[in-house]
Amino acid sequence: MEQRTLGRTGRQVGVVGLGAWQLGADWGEVDEDEALATLRAAVEAGVNFIDTADVYGDGRSERLVGRLLKEHPGLTVATKMGRQVPQEPSAYTLENFRAWNDRSRANLGVDTIDLVQLHCPPTPVYSDDAVFDALDTLVDEGRIAAYGVSVETCEEALTAIARPGVATVQIILNAFRLKPLERVLPAAREAGVGIIARVPLASGLLSGRYGRDTVFAADDHRSFNRHGEAFDVGETFSGVDYETGLEAVARLAPVVPEGMTMAQFALRWVLDQPGVSVVIPGRATRGRRRRTRPRPPWRRCRSRRTPTCGRCTTSCSGRRCITAGERQVRQGAAGGRPGAARPVPLPFAGLLEMHRGLPCAGRDMDGARDDGRLR
């Protein structure tokens, strides 16, 4: 697997890591054997970076990762802290940090944690010098090797990047959430801060496996947090309404290159953005939902030509078809002679067209304009 430097930690990590939220809670039931099998399969596939948090299953995810660490001591593990108490800036103290860190180190079975991140704290925390002095103290005491932040908004990310001790920023980045590309990734690149891209598949929407009749378990956040009932709605389907997300995926499908799945394409697109260090998809567990694979409304071009667009064996879906790794737009009413085709560069042009007019929600959305639409 390709290796990249994880920001100011200086560590080399594989570009695809594993997010371990689902091993703790909020994604339906995952038994211990299946959770450990998921972790081991990831390592066997070349994953050497795992992201967890003390709040995932009240420490269950950390404990499972700790068991894996005993088998594979060379892994890089990042955890997060701060979400087990009421979200008040006054809770972010050195005393609390030490207590939270003691618990995480015990769960993981290590003396020093590779990377500890503040877990989407209240916005004022990012501007509090005392908070970052306390984190520096944890480094000096040997409790942690480095620290970073997990953020909800681009402004929080930019404030954190300006801090000299911040090694990484974790932020939602996927084909539905483009705003970090504008300022956050360039700023992180300039400062040498690593970017950990979370929710890269928009809670599975960008896997292309879901449909309107897909059913999620009652204890899966994709059932109980669709409108932000439990936590920020941006963490569930990236804040995109489920039906709208399905529509967007259908519009994105025609730009997926031959030989790639939708999920592979979505992850590759994130990794192709300059400044991204690692992407952390989770693993979906069988039996938790009824999977659906709707037949896409398009077909790939073949070698035999027909008059439809000059290169396709089918009229595809209205105005789209795929051939030789490029998207063809049949012009007709759009101007140009009927049947003419012009190539549109892959991947960004397709994403921009997909985004036009799609409604979204969430705290800043990291991809929302003031009018509440994806950009």
CA dihedral of 48, 182, 184, 79, whole degrees rounded to 10: -40
pLDDT of 65 > 50? The answer is: yes
Task: Please write the tens of the pLDDT for every residue from 203-245.
Answer: 768 887 877 888 777 777 676 676 666 666 556 766 677 788 7
Token code pair at residue 86:
């009421």
**pTM: predicted TM-score of the whole model, two decimal places:** 0.76
φ, ψ dihedrals at 90, nearest 5°: -65, -15
> How much is the pLDDT for 252?
87
The catalytic position among 56, 126, 147, 210 is 56
The fold for domain 3-279 equals TIM Barrel (3.20.20)
Region 80-96: what's the mean pLDDT? Answer: 96
Region 308-332: what's the mean pLDDT? Answer: 36
Angle, CA 6 vertex, CA 277 and CA 281 arms, to 5°: 45
φ, ψ dihedrals at 2, nearest 5°: -60, 140
Region 268-275: what's the mean pLDDT? Answer: 95
> How much is the pLDDT for 229?
61
Beta carbons of 21 and 27 less than 8 angstroms apart: yes
**Terminal CA-to-CA distance of the chain, rounded, Å?**
32
Distance, CA of 171 to CA of 184 (rounded, Å): 9
pLDDT of 102 > 70? The answer is: yes
Distance, CA of 261 to CA of 278 (rounded, Å): 19
Q: Give 364's pLDDT tier (boundaries 50, 70, 90).
A: low
Considering only residues 126 and 231, tell me which one the structure prediction assigns the higher pLDDT.
126
Helices (H), the chain: 32-44, 60-71, 94-108, 129-140, 154-161, 184-191, 221-224, 242-252, 262-271, 348-355
Distance, CA of 88 to CA of 127 (rounded, Å): 14
Residues of the chain with pLDDT > 70, as a percent, come to 70
Considering only residues 214 and 305, tell me which one the structure prediction assigns the higher pLDDT.
214
Distance, CA of 189 to CA of 8 (rounded, Å): 11
Region 18-39: what's the mean pLDDT? Answer: 81
> How much is the pLDDT for 349?
42
Q: Which of 125-129, 207-211, 223-227, 295-299 shows the lowest mean pLDDT across its residues?
A: 295-299
User: In the annotation, is 56 catalytic?
Assistant: yes
Q: Give 41's pLDDT tier (boundaries 50, 70, 90).
A: very high
Find which of 19-28, 97-106, 287-296 is predicted with most confidence, using mean pLDDT: 97-106
Angle between helices 184-191 and 154-161 (to 10 degrees): 10
Instruction: List the domain boundaries for the chain.
Output: 3-279
> How much is the pLDDT for 299?
41
Instruction: For residue 182, give Cα distances in angstroms to 173, 179, 248, 367, 375.
Output: 12, 6, 21, 10, 11
Considering only residues 166 and 176, tell me which one the structure prediction assigns the higher pLDDT.
166
Q: 3-state class of 58 per DSSP?
A: coil
> How much is the pLDDT for 40?
94
Q: Give me the residue label for tokens 């963490």.
A: 235
Angle between helices 32-44 and 60-71 (to 10 degrees): 50
Residues of the chain with pLDDT > 90, as a percent, come to 51
Q: Who's near 271: CB < 8 A, 6+ residues apart?
A: 15, 16, 279
pLDDT of 301 > 80? The answer is: no
Find which of 82-86, 131-135, 200-204 is predicted with most confidence, using mean pLDDT: 131-135
> How much is the pLDDT for 370?
35
Distance, CA of 62 to CA of 244 (rounded, Å): 34
Token code pair at residue 348:
């960004």
Region 188-198: what's the mean pLDDT? Answer: 97
> How much is the pLDDT for 4?
98
Q: Are strands 147-150 and 76-81 parallel, antiparallel or unpaired?
A: unpaired
